[in-house]
Copies of this chain bind each other. A is one copy, B any other.
Amino acid sequence: MKTNILTNNSSWLSELALPNLTKDEIKTIEQASVRLTFKKSETILKQGGQSTHIAYLVQGIVKFNFENELGRNLILTVVSAPKILGGANLLYQHNNLFSIIAIEICEVILVESPVIVDLLKQNAHFSFTTLQLTSEMYKKTILNFVSLAFKHKEGRIADIMIYLAENVYHNNKFQLSLTRKELAEFAGCSSENLIMTLSRWNKEHIIHNNGKAFEIVDPDKLKLISRNC
């Protein structure tokens, strides 16, 4: 599985500043790459593990999961393909800060970190583009941080429902691949609190929800809740 990984997926490096890479550089990356399939709930990169690889998500949805000493989980974010993963982990030289876990079947290309690091050191445009990507992720984390600090849990839950519809499923109607417990870990509240909020919204026709099937009926009201709570 070590050949033609990139040329078969010519799009993937575009996010990683493909235009700024030479053919030789692309070939080097290709030779240091492997393409793998992960099943639901399998760990792609493990928190605390050596950050030997960065990952490119070709297909599927993953969660960025942080586990503390007491075994409690916080989902930092959820992202869908196509996306570069592990960029955030990349430069904490030795260890991954959080785990990246498949929440659906995922196709992933793993690239050896040292190869990428060498390229970053050599190719300014590649490095600059990566810096921009990192900054963008950084910005999102700060906004997430701010939302957690200011908002009531109801506002947080509104935030993540809007986020999932807009940025993960790209539709107001979706089959959720997270459990209630995971949703709660994303919002940073208890699963009971999350469930009560969702079922209240269901009664108030802000969302329609039946098991894993979700539909955001009144996005404006949800955004209002996000602002005011």
Q: Which residues of A contact B (CB under 8 A)?
A: 66, 68-69, 72, 74, 76, 88, 90-92, 97-98, 120-128, 130-132, 134-139, 141-146, 148-150, 188, 227
State A180–B69 Cα separation when bound (angstroms): 31
Q: How far is the CA of A97 from the CA of B125 in the complex (A)?
A: 24
Contacts of A98 in B (CB 8 A): 142
16 A-B pairs within 8 Å (CB atoms) are namely A74-B146, A88-B142, A90-B135, A91-B136, A97-B143, A120-B124, A120-B127, A123-B124, A124-B126, A124-B127, A130-B131, A134-B138, A138-B141, A141-B141, A141-B145, A145-B145
Q: Shortest beta-carbon distance, A44 to chain B, in Å?
A: 18
Note all chain B residues with C-beta closer than 8 A to A132: 91
Contact B145 A144 (CB under 8 A): yes
Distance to closest chain B CB from A220 (angstroms): 17
Q: Which residues of B contact A150 (CB under 8 A)?
A: 68, 72, 74
Question: Which of B72, B125, B135, B146 interacts with A91 by CB under 8 Å?
Answer: B135
Residues of B within 8 A of A76 (CB): 142, 145
**Of A66, A72, A146, which is in contact with the most chain B CB atoms at under 10 Å from its CB?**
A146
Chain B residues within an 8 Å CB radius of A66: 142, 146
